[in-house]
Amino acid sequence: MYQLTQLAADRHRQRLAAAEQQRPAQRLLALARATRRAERAERRLRRAARQARRLRAQLQAQTASHQ
């Protein structure tokens, strides 16, 4: 999960750097888009982590009940 978080943070920084090179109005729009993308990526990561925990718990429960 750390690698995915790091990847999302790196992409966010790259987009911010690109936004800084643009004109002010375009920079604001690009910054807003980059922020929204980063927020969506964080939500997807949290959702995936929750699902992984849920599936892991189900698997452990199944394994325990079969022993």
Q: Give the whole-angstrom CA distance, residue 8 versus residue 14.
A: 10
Q: pLDDT of the chain along its 67 residues, tens only? A: 568 788 888 888 888 888 777 678 787 888 999 999 999 999 999 999 999 999 999 999 999 888 7
State the pLDDT at residue 2: 67
Closest-CA residue to 57 (of 13, 49, 33): 49
Grouping H, G, I as helix, E, B as strand and the rest as coil, residue 4 is helix
State the pLDDT at residue 52: 97
Q: DSSP letter for 22, please.
A: S
State the pLDDT at residue 1: 57
Give the relative orientation of helices 2-20 and 24-65 as an angle to the nearest 10 degrees.
Answer: 170
